[in-house]
Amino acid sequence: MSRTTVATLALAKAGIAFSACPYDYDPDAPRIGLQAAEALGRSPDQVFKTLMAEVDGKPVCVVVPSDREVSMKKLAAAFGGKSAQMMKPADAERLTGFKVGGISPFGQRRTVPTAMDETAELFEELLINGGQRGLLVGLKPADAVRAAQMRLVDLVA
């Protein structure tokens, strides 16, 4: 597996320090983020999953702890909308340029508004998808926010 992806190239270009954290991806795992945390021996609340959603029909990117669920009400409010729903996997892949299970907030094909759950600030390092299945990147929360121009808000149910 290559550790160089569109996401890692975007981080490097932005001057963001990160570490590559490859793991054995299990496509049959019921929750990929939890499987990744277990494979890397990390706490699930430190491993953040990247989800694509729509708020009032407009695409957004959401980064939340792998052991939590997104509150659609909070998500809509975070982007000044009335309703939110998860994006269909095929639409997410087309929009981001990444395969589901490997979607990263860094280096997406099209830049969309992005938010990360505020619990990210509780950690010195987060693990976030590095742009392919089986690869996470470790980086400081503030660097993740800067790299993807994210806002920090309460997003979890």
pLDDT tens digits for range 31-51: 888 899 999 999 999 999 999
Domain ranges across the chain: 6-153
Please give the Cα distance from 5 to 38 (Å, whole number). Answer: 23
Output the pLDDT for position 2: 65
Output the pLDDT for position 29: 84
List Cβ neighbours of 82 (8 Å cut-off, separation of 6 or more): 56, 76
CATH code, 6-153: 3.90.960.10
pTM: 0.93
Output the pLDDT for position 75: 97
Are the C-beta atoms of 8 and 130 separated by less than 8 Å? yes
